[in-house]
Structure 1
């Protein structure tokens, strides 16, 4: 779980300013104008730019990428079909691969590495920071006063923008690879 990886207990973050729905379990704000929200309802992840089903087993119409637990649906209007095995995710995002691995260290830092579509990915999530890159965008963020709320800068080659990421339950209770995959999809655009 991300809670164990980042070494702090989870509680609901303080209400945030902006138009995101109160029930959002993942919020990404960039520059005050770009919002990515995701709310978890049963086995569905629905939001401003995402519509995924969180499968716990293969469905009868599964493809070669969905032979076990995984996500199927779309993010940023492109198809997502990914399976989880241990600390790895393998599948597709759009017309490219989605291959991620999570490495947890004993100090509570989770490193996510791989590729999301065409975006090389390497970032860390710890108790006090979220930093690294997804594709052409780099993130340098620190944890704010609320648990699992990170604030800082996102730079995508055309300047930097203030960015905020908030993560709440039930996402914090998922396996590290599930949480990392959803976070990587959010950061990939």
Structure 2
């Protein structure tokens, strides 16, 4: 083998090693997404650390508060263990959270609408504003089912909640879901 071919071969091997290392680093930095898919809409929100970002949602968690904009509305919410309260869209919002047999019951007022939602590891059901939801966890770990917003039930409806959101606690998860499910 000529010396020039040895150099090229060594460079190729080095280049491949660099690409492999970059690919591995990129895989470790995998971003997580909260998403809602309905027959009429699709929303995807990037969850990165304390930030939630999409075209419609720009929110940041700072300690026990969630601030920013969601669907064109200014959001200032306090996140307590059993209560999410503050203003969203200039309207007072208050949600009570109560655990009952592994399911979180959510009741209150959000974005000027009544909320009664049961949120558990196997299902989400109830109403957020004018929309009723009946979602069950499928084999892929996604919530899937139907919703009705004053008309014919819409199917399929798919909701994906990343662990990077649920790890921030129930108040943060509930506030985010109320905004997403109540604004569609």
**TM more than 0.5:** yes
How big is each residue's C-alpha offset from its partner over 1:56-106, in whole Å with a ceiling of 9 and x where there is no partner? Answer: 1xxxxxxxxxxxx1110111111111012221111111021121111112x
Tell me how large the CA RMSD over aligned residues is: 1.4
> CA contact under 8 A between 2:48 and 2:164: conserved in structure 1?
no
Distance 2:177 2:150 in 1: 21
Structure 1's consecutive aligned runs of 4 or more residues displaced over 4 angstroms after TM superposition are none
How big is each residue's C-alpha offset from its partner over 1:17-47, in whole Å with a ceiling of 9 and x where there is no partner? Answer: xxxxx8442101111x411222122321102
Alignment: residue pair count: 153
1:183 corresponds in structure 2 to 177
Give the structure with the larger helix fraction: 2
1:52 corresponds to 2:59: yes
- CA radius of gyration, larger in: 2
Identify unmatched segments of 5+ residues in structure 2. Answer: 1-29
Distance 1:143 1:152 in 2: 9
Identify unmatched segments of 5+ residues in structure 1. Answer: 1-21, 57-68
Task: Compare relative contact order (CA 8 Å, sep 6+) and give the higher one, 1 or 2.
Answer: 1
Alignment of 1:11-160 (within 5 A): 23-31=31-39, 33-56=40-63, 69-105=64-100, 107-147=101-141, 149-160=142-153
